[in-house]
A and B are shown apart, each in its own frame.
Chain A
Amino acid sequence: MLSQAVLVAAVAAACYGVYHFSNTIGLVGNYYNHRPGICRRVPGIEHGSEDIHVTSDGKAFVSSGFLKSREMKEYAEKHKVKGRVFLFDFKKPSAGAVELGLKAGRDFDAKKFRPHGLSVLEDKKRGEHLVYVVSHPDGLPDVVEKFRFSPKSRQLIHVRSIPVGDKLVFTNDLALISEDQFYITNMAVFHFAPLAFLEKYLPLRTGAVFFYNGTEMQEVIPNLSLPNGVFLSSDHKMLYVVSFCDKTLMVYRLDPITKGAQLLQTVQLFGRGDNVQLTQSGDALLLGAHPNFLQFRIHEHSPTPADINSPSSVVRLPLDKDNLVREADVTEMFYDHGDLISGSSVAAIFEGQMLIGSVVDSLVHCELFTQAKS
């Protein structure tokens, strides 16, 4: 009698578990394509445009060449996929994306460069912006590469490699407060393969946001599930963190002295959010997201990602005067089944145009018909 009751309870729990899991991986729900304007692929970008950062004068820095799996490493060697940073000028969109030369420094090997998230500290006077890029060099621990952009020679001159330390096993994105002071997200702590696998799919809460103060990493937000993109509000008082596993965007208030963070708002998303970015006017956040997680995983790990479509979505989250998200006014600006762009991870808006980046696919440029969208 008791064993029967236990059996029924176990079956019920299993059913619920299956339902919940299928929800989180995006098995349910069918969406239709829609675009905010005329959209085209930017030629020359085929191996990803994972993160974008736009300066106030319309220069977008785009990281490319991100690799996820071992199969992709062989593919990368065969097809000579390199880690690159591109520059797209919103003021000259027809010029397309230009690859920036990477001027090597003492301890920088461009061949091992595998960029992921990036962040730019603007130099409004001379345009020599500081570009920080999270890199996963082959066979080595993660590192944050610091470059100085030279507008004259169109090069990124390597300044310094900042090691992330052994607590941070797989970093993702960073947000700069000032030179050599930034917040960085870490998604994994396990090296041991079976645990690392579980860490990717179960909400184990091993991720965290760290603060780098110029010399060392300090953990400021612990117990997060796969924290992905991170971005600061325009007044640097709020930090926006995307949790890939929980499908949430979290809004934290930052303490300028302790660099600590207090959770103010959790916004539920309907797809798996990746990177988040402020629009040009600073009154909204743009999120690149993956509506179907299972499909995205297949696409991301495939040796030929161009052959496998994964739906893409760009969501606009308007902010109120306190820089909190106005949940009732959240809209989706772009949805594509994957034919134009697969696995969208980031989006940026500048002067009536939108740039959409993907993890391992193309880069898309849209002309927004509505003039006021900034």
Chain B
Amino acid sequence: MYLKTALFSVTLFALQHIVRLIYSLGYHLHFYQHYPGPCRQFPEIEFGSGNFYTLPDGTTFITSGLDMNVFSRRFQLHYTSQGVEGAIYVTNLNSSEAVLRKLDIIVEIAAEEGGFSLETFHPHGISVWFDTTEGHHSLFVVNHPTRADDRIEKFLFDPATFTLHHVKSFTNPKLRSLHDVQAIGEDSFYATNILHEHRSRFFMLLELFSLMPWSSVILYTEETGYSEVVSGLMSATGIAMSKCGAFIYVMLSLGSQILVYSRGEDNSLTLQQVFPLYTHPDSAVLDPVTGDLFIGAHPIAHQYINHVDNPAKHKAASQVLHLRLTEGNITSITELLYDDGILISGSSAAVVYNNTLLVGSSVDKLVACKVNVPI
């Protein structure tokens, strides 16, 4: 008698979870394409331009060559067979014809066991800190080194020679399956863990599809070390900070939301606004001039999942959203671009500077469009 009830309840629970998952995969969704102006692809980039950071003068750093522990074997084979390398590019959006330059990476400390090595470098999220006293730019980059734990790498940018000097690696058990990083000082940052599990692909997929809210935001400062400032999130991906440093924006991809936190004196985060998004945001890039946010998103989840498994075969729809902020809160949202995946698949980041929209993708191309619509 009770067994029957228990069995029935469990089945019902499992059924509703499956229906929820199928709905969130977006098989029923249809959207029209539209572009803010004529677009072109950058021929130099074939395997991703996953995340950006733009400086006030238009200099934009782009990470490329993403690979993660959670990605499938088929993807990893494709990656190695195509000779894809992890790299960081730079471009200046101020010039009308933005040109890409790959940055040379110089490793100061020789690659020891577990140290930084270019061969295992798979960059993801990026953030730049300008030190006004020293007058140099520090780049913080999320790295998914092959067969090792995720970590944050710190580089110093030399604009004269277009090189990056690797200075430090940040490793800690609290840094799990990292996605993005936001620098808040010369040696301090917030980082997002998209998942808690970071080694076994099987358990990572289980965590993802069970919709368990085990994603978190980690804070690191020299004084306080590593601490978990926000927990209980549903797959946090991108993280960005407002121009004044008072607000932190966290993108929840499966949770389809943007969380706005106000930042305390001690770097603690207090939830200020929950903004529902009916799409899956990847990264948010701050517009250094206006302070607005641009988001690369995956509107149709099943397409993105298939695309990341087999990029050569599956295209994924791309979407760019423009968020306007008032006193830290998100007050308006417009869609700048929607593409079925032919121009660019799996858009993960975007920024507008000088009437040019730059759109990056997790494992596909890099695209620049002229912006002929009001921003």
Contact = CB atoms under 8 A, between A and B. Distances in A.
A194 interface: no
Contacts of A192: none
A35 B375 CA distance: 10
A196 interface: no
B32 A331 contact: yes
Contacts of A32: 321, 333-335
B299 to A, nearest CB: 9
Contacts of A333: 34
A38 B334 CA distance: 14
B29 A331 contact: no
B32 A330 contact: yes
B210 interface: no
Contact of A330 (B28, B33, B35, B321): B33
Contacts of B338: 332
A33 B322 CA distance: 10
A35 B278 contact: no
Interface centre among A32, A34, A313, A332 (most CB of B within 10 A): A32
B213 interface: no
A30 B373 CA distance: 21
Interface string A13-38: 00000000001000011111111111
Interface string A322-363: 000000101111010000000000000000000000000000
B335 A33 contact: yes
A33 B336 contact: no
A370 interface: yes
B37 A34 contact: no
- Give the contact-size bracket for chain A: 20 to 34
B334 A30 contact: no
Given A32-B335, A33-B334, A34-B336, A332 B373 contact: no
Interface in B148-199: none
A331 B373 CA distance: 15
Contacts of B34: 34, 331-333
A88 B32 CA distance: 29
Nearest to A23: B28
A276 B32 CA distance: 17
Contacts of B28: 23, 28-29
A270 interface: yes
B372 interface: yes
Nearest to B36: A34
A315 interface: yes
Interface string B1-40: 0000000000000000000000000001111111101000
A23 B336 CA distance: 25
B374 interface: yes
A35 B33 contact: no
A32 B333 CA distance: 7
Contact of B33 (A29, A31, A313, A331): A331
A23 B28 CA distance: 8
Interface string B201-223: 00000000000000000000000
Contacts of B335: 31-34, 335
Which of A28, A30, A36, A313 lies at the interface centre, i.e. has the most chain B CB atoms within 10 A of its CB? Answer: A30
Contacts of B321: 32
A155 B30 CA distance: 45
A37 B373 contact: yes
Contacts of B336: 34
A201 interface: no
Interface in A19-75: 23, 28-38
A367 to B, nearest CB: 9
Interface in A270-296: 270
A369 interface: yes
Contacts of B373: 34-37, 369
Interface string B326-345: 00000001111010001000
Nearest to A30: B278
A313 B342 CA distance: 23
Interface in B261-278: 278
A37 B374 CA distance: 6
Interface in B24-61: 28-35, 37
Nearest to B338: A332
Contacts of A28: 28-29
Contacts of B30: 29, 270
A34 B34 CA distance: 9
B101 to A, nearest CB: 30
Contact of A38 (B31, B278, B374): B374
Contacts of A34: 34, 334-336, 373
Contact of B35 (A35, A313, A331, A369): A331
Contact of B32 (A37, A315, A370): A315
A281 B281 CA distance: 38
A332 B372 contact: no
A133 B19 CA distance: 49
Contacts of B342: 328
Nearest to B297: A32
B35 to A, nearest CB: 7
Nearest to B277: A30
B334 A332 contact: no
Nearest to B337: A34
Contacts of A38: 374
Interface of A: 23, 28-38, 270, 313, 315, 328, 330-333, 335, 369-370
Would you list the 9 A-B pairs with minimal beta carbon distance, nearest first?
A: A332-B32, A30-B278, A32-B335, A369-B372, A270-B30, A370-B372, A34-B335, A331-B34, A332-B34
12 contacts: A28-B28, A32-B334, A33-B334, A313-B32, A315-B32, A331-B32, A331-B34, A331-B35, A332-B33, A332-B34, A369-B373, A370-B37
